[in-house]
Chains A and B, each alone.
Chain A
Amino acid sequence: MTLAHRLTALVLFSLALFANPAQAVQVTDDQGTVLKLARAPQRIVSLLPSLTETVCALGQCQRLVGVDRYSNFPESVKKLPQVGGGMDPNIEAIVALHPDVVLAALSSRWAQRLTALGIPVFALEPKTQADVQRAVGKLALLLEVPDGQKLWRDIDAGVIAAAQSLPPNVRGTKVYFEVNRGPYGAGEASFIGEILTRLGVQNILPAKLGPFPLINPELVVRENPDLIMVGESNLESMEQRPGWSRIRAIRERHICVFTSAQSDVLVRPGPRMAESARIMAQCLADKAPTAKATPQ
């Protein structure tokens, strides 16, 4: 062993003595990458709106130093520097913020660039309720927030409460949720579909079609839903689509049109899941055909 080697070994040894191993954070992300940090990250850049919301819901909003251009909740993150979108982030702007960690969706092509520049990337992509629970848990570990599962329990309780608030005769209402005029609908396997199922309504798109299938518009006519949910930016003259004027929901005008702020809540698998359930429950209580028949 040369002198240089000995010196190096000595330096490493003393470093190991000074670093307190109990303080180190070690969490595995959804891609299986093990992230080891000397201490919980204090400067965070989030490139996915649902992760931004989760960090804030864990009470750690002040640690965010930058977000993607789609993160718009809570209000305070709108003041943070924007570093592009999740698909096309501005690497330079991220590096300039000196983050301890970057939160991003899975399989982001640019993640390697950031890692090479010495900025760790923590990849999570919540798509279902189970994913949300896992993401909350992992972020709580990473940020060293005690009892992260309390947040999850609160969210879950909110969904249950929303489901219980519904009049029993609304259960079983046949619903079609259109996400895009392709037409793409929200199937039972999607995050939206999971909440609809928990509200006790019947989705016309079964789980086997996948989360957001491109469907034959004829299917909606054939299934004849009682209620249609659609975002205002996808709102279209549904009445004028060939054959659609005879669908019960359209004939009797049982249609919920969500504002874009509401749509943000509905389509993001994150901590506002309970609010999402409340929005859809409100829609059902207002517009479901059976709800109207109920004498107040």
Chain B
Amino acid sequence: MNATRTGWLLWLALLVCAAMAVLGLCIGSAGFENTVGLLLGEHTPAIERAMAQQIVWDIRLPRTVGALAAGALLGLAGALAQGLFRNPLADPYLLGSASGASLGVALALASMGGGAGMVGGSMMSEGGAAISVFSSSIWVRLGLTGAAFAGAVFAVMLTLSLARGVQHTLRLLLAGVIVGVVLGAVTSLVLLFSPDSLQAMQSFLLGSTSFIGWASYVLMAVVWLMCVVAPWALERVLDGLSLGEATALSLGLPIGPLRAALVAVLALATGTAVAQTGLIAFVGLAAPHLVRALVKVPHRQLMWLASAMGAVLLGGADLLARWLIAPQELPVGVLTAVLGGLYLLWLMHRGGGALGGRKP
């Protein structure tokens, strides 16, 4: 029965994602409009058709699927973190990985000509390469993702060494919070000395899905595939861990190295999402909880479900962000917090116990 329910939930989430993808084509600066009809209609004037084609293909489609992919990455990272640390409070940002990722991006910007968006020459000159947080050139995207990943790995290493390994969950959480705060302060310091990067970072720190292009989307999709496969192989560890460390050890699981591998996957997923969309709060924390409140599943399925749930959350937030006050936008991070938060509150109010997740 549980299996069917899980299947239903996954299908339902995928269906919602698909619906949002179609809706995403129709929602933009003009609010809701039937772009699909405009594209397929026979009587559409050529100019309007070209404009609609461009807007749908170049802007709305990559942005919509990009938001879904980023949400999936964050949901996956959240499920991983909560499984790894057996703590319902754990989220991808917990180990300081998000602060590390943003420090990486800030340093990259500050070193690449102040993040003013350009290296040499005027913007329009042929030779002048331009660099910005939301640039969509694949090389810039890869570079920033690399910087974010390096920062995330550095932060996680720092956390792990401060906590003297991963054995002690409470110490790990504490170390993660401390590293997060310290690296956040260092980021502010870097920005203080490189005021040109400040504006570039501002939209980054608030999180934004506005400028997701095809390059970002492909990158996130590839990383997500890589990340979802790894825990698949390691799910026995996660499920073992959820029974407690002693039990897992007595089951003969090689906890140490596998846990390190999962931490690396966590950093990769977080770093990739952060490099494309900035810091979007709450998706990673809320998505696994929402899944667990609905069904009780082993980790292999939780990875998929949490990804789907994260995609639904961020995809929905992205749609609302551009719809509610079009042609203006709301910061998408604010909406994820409101959406996820209200739903979590409702679940808590209704169920009480359902939200505890796995009690350590």
Min Cβ gap A247→B in Å is 10
As a 0/1 sequence over residues 125 to 154 of chain B, the CB contacts with chain A under 8 angstroms (1 = contact) are: 000001110111100100000000000000
Min Cβ gap A188→B in Å is 14
Residues B130 and A242 in contact, CB atoms below 8 Å apart: no
Residues B331 and A216 in contact, CB atoms below 8 Å apart: no
Interface stretch (choices B197-205, B251-259, B335-343, B350-358): B197-205
Residues A240 and B135 in contact, CB atoms below 8 Å apart: yes
Residues A214 and B55 in contact, CB atoms below 8 Å apart: no
B212 close to A (CB within 8 Å): yes
A33 close to B (CB within 8 Å): no
As a 0/1 sequence over residues 60 to 100 of chain B, the CB contacts with chain A under 8 angstroms (1 = contact) are: 10110000000000000000000000000000000000000
Residues B28 and A216 in contact, CB atoms below 8 Å apart: yes
* Minimal Cβ-Cβ distance residue in A for B322: A216
Known: A216-B327, A222-B30. A255 touches B123 (CB 8 A): yes
Query: CB-CB < 8 A to A180: which residues of B?
Result: 199, 202-203
Size category of the binding interface on chain A: 20 to 34
Residues A238 and B210 in contact, CB atoms below 8 Å apart: no
Q: A216 contacts which of B123, B130, B199, B326 (Cβ < 8 Å)?
A: B326
B239 close to A (CB within 8 Å): no
A237-B118, A243-B55 are known; give 15 further A-B pairs, CB within 8 A: A180-B202, A181-B117, A183-B210, A209-B327, A222-B29, A233-B199, A235-B117, A235-B130, A236-B130, A236-B135, A237-B123, A237-B130, A242-B58, A242-B59, A243-B59
Q: Pick the most buried of A181, A216, A239, A240: most chain B CB atoms within 10 A of its CB.
A: A216
B167 close to A (CB within 8 Å): no
* Minimal Cβ-Cβ distance residue in B for A246: B54
Query: CB-CB < 8 A to B182: which residues of A?
Result: none
Query: CB-CB < 8 A to A181: which residues of B?
Result: 117, 132, 134, 199-200, 203
Min Cβ gap B59→A in Å is 4
B247 close to A (CB within 8 Å): no
Query: CB-CB < 8 A to B60: which residues of A?
Result: 218
> In the complex, which residues 109-131 of chain B have their Cβ closer than 8 Å to any Cβ of chain A?
116-118, 122-124, 130-131
Min Cβ gap B116→A in Å is 5
> In the complex, which residues 192-242 of chain A have their Cβ closer than 8 Å to any Cβ of chain B?
209-210, 213-219, 221-222, 232-242
A182 close to B (CB within 8 Å): yes
Query: CB-CB < 8 A to A218: which residues of B?
Result: 28-29, 55, 59-60, 322, 327
* Minimal Cβ-Cβ distance residue in B for A217: B210
As a 0/1 sequence over residues 242 to 256 of chain A, the CB contacts with chain B under 8 angstroms (1 = contact) are: 110010000001010
Known: A181-B200, A209-B328, A237-B135. A217 touches B124 (CB 8 A): no
A119 close to B (CB within 8 Å): no
A113 and B278 CA atoms in complex are apart in Å by: 38
As a 0/1 sequence over residues 196 to 226 of chain B, the CB contacts with chain A under 8 angstroms (1 = contact) are: 1001101100001011111000000000000
Query: CB-CB < 8 A to A183: which residues of B?
Result: 210
Residues A217 and B199 in contact, CB atoms below 8 Å apart: no
Query: CB-CB < 8 A to B328: which residues of A?
Result: 209-210, 213-216
A257 close to B (CB within 8 Å): yes
Query: CB-CB < 8 A to A232: which residues of B?
Result: 116
Known: A236-B132, A237-B135. A217 touches B59 (CB 8 A): yes
Residues B30 and A241 in contact, CB atoms below 8 Å apart: no
Known: A216-B329, A219-B327. A238 touches B202 (CB 8 A): no
Residues B136 and A253 in contact, CB atoms below 8 Å apart: no
